[in-house]
Amino acid sequence: MEVKAVKSNMKLATKLMLSFAGVAFVTLLLGFSGYYGTLQSDKAIKEIGIVRLSSVQSLQAIKLAANSIKAAQRTLMDLGLEKTLRQRQYQNIASDRKAYEEAWKIYEPLPQTPEEALLWKDFVPAWEKWREENNKFLEITKKIDALDLGDPYELAGKIELFSSDHYKLVAATLTLLKYEEAFSGGESHTDCDFGKWLSTFKTSNTTAQSLIEKASESHKRFHDAIVNIKRLASTGKYEDAASIYESQMVPPMNMVFDKLTALKGLANEDLTMAREMEHQGVTVARAAQQKAYELLDKLIALNANVAAETVKSEAGNANFMKAFSLIAMIIGVILAMFLGFFITRSITKPINRITEGLDQAAEQVASASSQVSSAS
C-alpha cells in the first residue's frame, strides 16, 4: 500500500512538473518572439535611421555643394562681371568645398553594401579628377582677373571701334585737304567713343595704365590738331592746314594708333586665356563633372533603394511576428486550459479515491462497533 502511494505521489509530481514546464515553454515562446521582434526592429532602425538616412543626406549634401560650385564656375565665365561679384564666387567655391568635405567625412566611415563599396571606389578618383580640372579652370580665371581688363571680347571690340573711328577722321581730314570737302565732328577729344571710354575705364594693370595715359595725352593733341586744320581750311589756308596736319596731327595720330595696338595686344592675351578658360570649363571640367555626377547619382539611388528594401523586408518580418505571436498566444491559452483541466483531474481523482476509501472505512468501523454493542 505504501509503495503504491509513493508511486502515485511520484506520478502526480511528475504530471505537475510536466504541466508547469509546458506553461513555461509557451511563455518562453511568447517572450522569444517579442525579443526577436525587438532585435529586428533595432537592426532596421540602425540600418535605415543611422546608416541609410545619414548616407543619403551626406551624398545629397555633396551633390548640393557640387551644384553650387558648378553655378559659381558658370558665373566666373562672365568676364564682364564686377570684381566684387567675381570674388564672391571664389569665396562660394571655398565654402562649398568645405561643406562637401564635412559631408564626405560623415559618409565615408558608414557601413557599405558590396555594390556600394565598388561604386564608391570608382567615385572617389572621378571626383578628384573633377576637382583637379576645376582647379585648372580657377587658375586660368585668376590669371584673367589679374590682368584686370574686364571682358576681353568687349575690350577687343572697342579697340577695333576706336581705331576705325580715328582712321575715318584721318581720311576725312585728308579729303578736306585734298578736295576741300568739309566734314563735321572730330573737334572734341571727350565726345568721341574713345574719349568717353578713357574717362570711365579703370584698371590696376600697370601696363594698361601706362598705355592709356600716353594714348590719352596724344589723343587730345590729335583732336586739337583737327580743330586747327578745320579753322585754317575754313579761311582757305589749305597749305597751312596741311602743314598743321604733318606737324601736329600725324605724330599724336601715330602715338594713338601705336598705343591702341598695344592695348589690343593685351586684349588678345586676355582673349587667349578666355578661350582656354572656356574650353577648360565647358569641355574638360564638364566631362569630368558628368562622370562624377553619374556615379554620385548611382550612390544616392542605391542607398535609397537599400532603405526601401529594408523597410519592405522589415514590414514582412513584422507581419510574420504578429501572426506568430497571435498563434502562440492562442496555443498558449488552449494549452493552459488543457493543462488546468489535466492538473485538476490529476489532483482531484486520487483525492476522491482516498475520500471514498475513508468513507468505506468509516462505515465498516461503524458497522463493527454496532455489532460489538449488540453482542454485549
Query: Cell triple for residue 120?
Result: 564608391
Residue 360: its pLDDT value, please?
Answer: 72
Q: Please answer whether residues 244 and 225 qualify as being in contact, where contact means their C-beta atoms are separated by less than 8 angstroms.
A: yes
Q: Which domains, ranges and CATH numbers included, belong to the chain?
A: 32-147+280-328 (1.20.120.1730), 150-276 (1.20.120.30)
Q: Among candidates 71, 98, 126, which has minimal Cα distance to 289?
A: 126
**What's the one-letter identity of residue 331?**
I
Estimate to the nearest angstrom the gap between the alpha carbon of 15 and the chain centroid: 69
**Strand residues in the chain grouped as ranges (E):** none
Q: What is the structure's pLDDT at 73?
A: 96
Per-residue pLDDT, 305: 83
CA neighbours closer than 13 Å in the CB half-sphere of residue 300: 14
Rg (CA), the chain: 51
| Residue ranges, the chain, pLDDT below 70 | 1-13, 15-16, 18-20, 22-23, 26-52, 308, 310-326, 328-329, 332, 335-336, 339-353, 357, 359, 361-363, 365-376
Q: DSSP code of 255? A: H
H/E stretch holding 364 reads helix 285-375
As given in the structure block, the three cell numbers for residue 280 are 577648360
Looking at residue 112, its pLDDT comes to 84
Distance from C-alpha of 55 to C-alpha of 301, rounded to nearest angstrom: 11
For the full predicted model, state whether its pTM sits above 0.85.
Answer: no
Residue 180: phi and psi, rounded to 5, are 55, 40
Nearest to 80 by CA among 211, 270, 261, 207: 270
Q: Where are the alpha helices (DSSP H) in 77-113?
A: 83-107
- What is the enclosing helix (H) or strand (E) of 41? helix 2-45
Residue range 318-339, pLDDT digits in tens:
565 566 666 766 776 776 677 6
